[in-house]
Amino acid sequence: MGLSNRGFTQPSKIKKGLTLPRGLEDLSPLSLGILITFFFPRSKLLRRRRLTGKQQQEFGERFLLLLSKQSCFATIESQKTWLVEREKNLLMPRNPQMRSLVLDAKQMIYTNSIGKGRKKETGLGLTNTKDGNFGEWYSEVVTNGEMIEYYEISGCYILRPWTMSIWEIMQSYFDAEIKKMKIKTCYFPLFVSNTVLQKEKDHIEGFAPEVAWVTRSGDSDLEVPIAIRPTSETVMYPYFSKWIRGHRDLPLKLNQWCNVVRWEFSNPTPFIRSREFLWQEGHTAFATKEEADTEVLEILELYRRLYEEYLAVPVVKGKKSEMEKFAGGLYTTSVEAFIPNTGRGVQGATSHCLGQNFAKMFEINFEDEKGEKSMVWQNSWAYSTRTIGVMVMVHGDDKGLVLPPKVAAVQVIIVNVPFKEADTDKIKNACLETVKTLCDLGIRAEADLRENYSPGWKYSHWEMKGVPLRIEIGPRDVANNQVVVARRDNGEKVSVPMADLVKVKDLLDDVQQNMFNVAKQKRDACVEVIKTWDEFIKALGQKKLILAPWCDEEEVEKEVKTKTKGETGAAKTLCSPFDQPELPEGTLCFASGKPAKKWTYWGRSY
Ligand code: 87F
């Protein structure tokens, strides 16, 4: 990607008589002339806005020649991407005649360049494979799948509707669950003063370089710079102190849905590591530690369900080591996911018990039932848009996104397959009827009846966007009162009688379950139980998720980190799973040789 089109501004330098790149042979020079007019609205070549038919034809011919300069493209793949990228940006002329020509050419370019003939090279529309170049594959999937648009500020991304609909579904689930727990919604300001931010020193220490500051308004410097929230403990807790007086004010349980900013410097990745992201942050205060402990686990269970039941991503619930926990808190629990392709763990969400640290700093006290002054016990917990990135990484394939039905904005896409002599209206009506039946059944279904795209193009398009089920309706299906259903997860096709469309519900459930099972199988296949340092190093080299007996000493963890530091980052503890395998008496720590206290997951991580 990122191909230069500098060559296109110097038509005079083109040599004639070169062969055309594959896929473009069928385009008439006129169509191409029109296309290029819209491809490069700002190019020097097209400074003159209004072009006559002849001029367009001329441009078309030049364009063909330019395209045939194979040297512009490193590979046929890059040519393909280039064409698709341009095709996306193509503007539509208002004149109906021009419009139909452009549409015609547009479809031809797409189907010719990435359609049937080339389907096998890689997944349609993707130039990288998941196993070939994971990083490039990921960024192609999130952009071509219309989830993300890159933005001019590094580490910031535009979240497109396809992303936001997933986020909203997850939000509805989680919000409803926490409301059942009597957690109330609130909203605190984005800005935080330095004094307040610095109040809890332990907490901010280490994070300080990531805090972004506003230092100016217009031309004048602010008297005191103000920070943009990286998290809201220090924003909220002064008010907890004000609002909590007696035991009747407890528990205080708040949650806010908002954005936060952390000015990361390491390799930004859409969803996974971005400088601004969306999350929910819950902040609660209780009279007793027991209540706080209980809530930590209740929330963690909601996070597990979010990953496993909604995103179909298996996670491990566990406790973070002292080194990896949130420094301002008492203990941290998390759900940890794993990306088999990169062999990296990823912290999916965290639920912290803050103990009384913040209560001390912010004087969050209450008078208990006996009239004695007491300090509250606090929790804080969050999941962010990172969840979506994990889902894409785990399920995506060489054709693009694969969305679990439960979070897909469109669960079923219905495509009409008109044949030349067929009654196209009849087919369209069958599609619309199917949409209605499915929607009445509570399924999120839509029909793609656009006439300017071929069925093949539409299949690829919706595959790229990860829609779980595709229904194809052609003349034969109409005649037989049936539809053909194709699954995104495994490519299987089945015929379903129109009268049995309720079966689509079972199919969606099956896709959801199958996606989880497949992901779990892959994750489990990466788990390596090891006992010795040599085994550890070997497994790390094989991108495994390592489960090892550990002495639980910080010094040892530090040493492992130092010893494994390399280009791809050091290995660290991910969590100690709550679900502990048996640890036989006398088991030794893989790293220190001291008696092991617990089983812990280790690996490189995001
Ligand atoms: C970056 C800059 C400043 C993480 C930061 O996990 C402060 C911080 O406090 C910071 N990055 N953290 C820890 C966040 C802890 C906690 N906050 C509420 C959560 C859950 C939600």
What letter would DSSP give residue 397? Answer: B
pLDDT at residue 348 greater than cutoff 50: yes
- Distance from C-alpha of 166 to C-alpha of 406, rounded to nearest angstrom: 9
Please compute the mean of the pLDDT values over residues 384-394 and round it to a whole number. 98
220-257 pLDDT, tens digit each: 999 999 999 999 999 999 999 999 999 999 999 999 99
CA 210 to ligand 1: nearest atom? 2
Which has the closest alpha carbon to 37: 108, 107, 96, 86? 86
- pLDDT-based confidence at 9, cuts 50/70/90? very low
Model pLDDT, residue 422? 82
The Å distance, Cα 84 to ligand 1 centre, comes to 40
Choice from 260, 326, 387 to test ligand 1 binding pocket (greatest atom count within 8 A of CB): 326
Which has the closest alpha carbon to 548: 573, 523, 531? 531
pLDDT at residue 511 greater than cutoff 80: yes
- pLDDT-based confidence at 566, cuts 50/70/90? confident
Residues of the chain with pLDDT > 90, as a percent, come to 75
Please compute the mean of the pLDDT values over residues 71-83 and round it to a whole number. 51
Residue nearest to atom 14 of ligand 1 (CA): 231
Model pLDDT, residue 10? 30
- pLDDT-based confidence at 63, cuts 50/70/90? low
The Å distance, Cα 374 to ligand 1 centre, comes to 26
| Residue count (the chain) | 606
Choice among 10-14, 139-143, 195-199, 331-335 with the minimum mean pLDDT: 10-14
CA 327 to ligand 1: nearest atom? 13
Between these two residues, 109 and 531, which has the higher pLDDT value? 531
CA 279 to ligand 1: nearest atom? 21
The Å distance, Cα 274 to ligand 1 centre, comes to 14
Spatial CB neighbours of 527, under 8 Å, sequence gap ≥ 6 = 544, 545, 546, 547
Please compute the mean of the pLDDT values over residues 36-40 and round it to a whole number. 57
End-to-end CA distance of the chain: 25
Model pLDDT, residue 528? 98
Say if residue 16 is exposed, middle or buried (CB neighbours under 10 Å; 0-12, 13-18, 19+).
exposed
Residues of the chain with pLDDT > 70, as a percent, come to 79
The Å distance, Cα 230 to ligand 1 centre, comes to 6
The Å distance, Cα 203 to ligand 1 centre, comes to 8
pLDDT at residue 463 greater than cutoff 70: yes
Q: Which phi-psi region, left, alpha or beta, contains residue 271 (left: φ > 0; alpha: ψ -120 to 50)?
A: left
CA 283 to ligand 1: nearest atom? 18
* 410 C-beta neighbours (distance < 10 Å), count: 20
Please compute the mean of the pLDDT values over residues 430-436 and round it to a whole number. 98
The Å distance, Cα 322 to ligand 1 centre, comes to 16
CA 351 to ligand 1: nearest atom? 20
CA 329 to ligand 1: nearest atom? 15
Between these two residues, 208 and 84, which has the higher pLDDT value? 208
Between these two residues, 13 and 466, which has the higher pLDDT value? 466
Which has the closest alpha carbon to 236: 253, 251, 248, 249? 253
The Å distance, Cα 132 to ligand 1 centre, comes to 35
The Å distance, Cα 329 to ligand 1 centre, comes to 10
The Å distance, Cα 70 to ligand 1 centre, comes to 50
Model pLDDT, residue 125? 80
Q: Does residue 18 contact residue 65 with C-beta atoms inside 8 Å?
A: yes
Residue nearest to atom 15 of ligand 1 (CA): 326
- Distance from C-alpha of 473 to C-alpha of 588, rounded to nearest angstrom: 63
Residue nearest to atom 12 of ligand 1 (CA): 231
Which helix (H) or strand (E) is 348 found in, with range?
Answer: strand 344-355
Choice from 190, 207, 334 to test ligand 1 binding pocket (greatest atom count within 8 A of CB): 207
The Å distance, Cα 160 to ligand 1 centre, comes to 26
The three-state (H, E, C) secondary structure of 254-315, written as one string = EEEEEEEECCCCCCCECCCECCEEEEEEEEEEECCHHHHHHHHHHHHHHHHHHHHHHCCCCC
* 543 C-beta neighbours (distance < 10 Å), count: 18
Model pLDDT, residue 421? 82
Residues having CB closer than 6 A to ligand 1 are: 203-204, 207, 210-211, 230-231, 233, 262, 281, 326, 350, 352, 380-382
pLDDT at residue 17 greater than cutoff 70: no
Residue nearest to atom 2 of ligand 1 (CA): 207
- Distance from C-alpha of 591 to C-alpha of 551, rounded to nearest angstrom: 8
Torsion, Cα of 181, 182, 183, 185 (10° steps): 130
The Å distance, Cα 356 to ligand 1 centre, comes to 17
CA 211 to ligand 1: nearest atom? 2
279-300 pLDDT, tens digit each: 999 999 999 999 999 999 999 9
Mean pLDDT, all residues of the chain = 87
- Distance from C-alpha of 24 to C-alpha of 55, rounded to nearest angstrom: 20
Residue nearest to atom 17 of ligand 1 (CA): 231
Between these two residues, 266 and 358, which has the higher pLDDT value? 358
The Å distance, Cα 231 to ligand 1 centre, comes to 5
| Interhelix angle 386-395/503-526, nearest 10 degrees | 90
- Distance from C-alpha of 416 to C-alpha of 426, rounded to nearest angstrom: 10
In this structure, what token pair is assigned to residue 69? 């300069």
pLDDT at residue 36 greater than cutoff 90: no
Choice from 178, 231, 279, 351 to test ligand 1 binding pocket (greatest atom count within 8 A of CB): 231
Between these two residues, 165 and 4, which has the higher pLDDT value? 165
The Å distance, Cα 379 to ligand 1 centre, comes to 12
CA 203 to ligand 1: nearest atom? 9
Between these two residues, 415 and 204, which has the higher pLDDT value? 415
Residue nearest to atom 10 of ligand 1 (CA): 231
Q: Does residue 514 contact residue 573 with C-beta atoms inside 8 Å?
A: no
User: ω before 225 within 30° of 0 (cis)?
Assistant: no
CA 282 to ligand 1: nearest atom? 21
- Claim: this prediction has a pTM higher than 0.85: no
CA 381 to ligand 1: nearest atom? 20
Model pLDDT, residue 542? 97
The Å distance, Cα 277 to ligand 1 centre, comes to 12
Identity of the residue numbered 238: P
Model pLDDT, residue 39? 55
pLDDT at residue 6 greater than cutoff 50: no
Residue nearest to atom 1 of ligand 1 (CA): 207
- Distance from C-alpha of 1 to C-alpha of 23, rounded to nearest angstrom: 19
CA 332 to ligand 1: nearest atom? 6
Model pLDDT, residue 145? 97
The Å distance, Cα 360 to ligand 1 centre, comes to 18
What is residue 226's three-state secondary structure?
A: strand
Taking 3-state DSSP, the helix, strand and coil percentages for the chain, each rounded to the nearest 5, stand at: 40, 25, 35
Model pLDDT, residue 98? 54
- Distance from C-alpha of 228 to C-alpha of 596, rounded to nearest angstrom: 43
pLDDT at residue 379 greater than cutoff 50: yes
Say if residue 74 is exposed, middle or buried (CB neighbours under 10 Å; 0-12, 13-18, 19+).
exposed
What letter would DSSP give residue 94? Answer: S
Model pLDDT, residue 594? 98
In this structure, what token pair is assigned to residue 503? 């079966």
CA 281 to ligand 1: nearest atom? 21
Q: List strand residue ranges (DSSP E) for 427-504, in order.
A: 445-448, 469-473, 482-487, 493-497
- pLDDT-based confidence at 37, cuts 50/70/90? low
pLDDT at residue 464 greater than cutoff 90: yes
Instruction: Name residue 317's beta-bridge partners.
Output: 335
Please compute the mean of the pLDDT values over residues 379-407 and round it to a whole number. 98
The Å distance, Cα 435 to ligand 1 centre, comes to 44
Choice among 103-112, 153-162, 175-184, 503-512 with the minimum mean pLDDT: 103-112
The Å distance, Cα 339 to ligand 1 centre, comes to 23
- Distance from C-alpha of 483 to C-alpha of 417, rounded to nearest angstrom: 11
Model pLDDT, residue 27? 60
Model pLDDT, residue 85? 58
Identity of the residue numbered 433: E
Choice among 193-207, 264-278, 302-316, 492-506 with the minimum mean pLDDT: 193-207
Which has the closest alpha carbon to 410: 132, 42, 146? 146
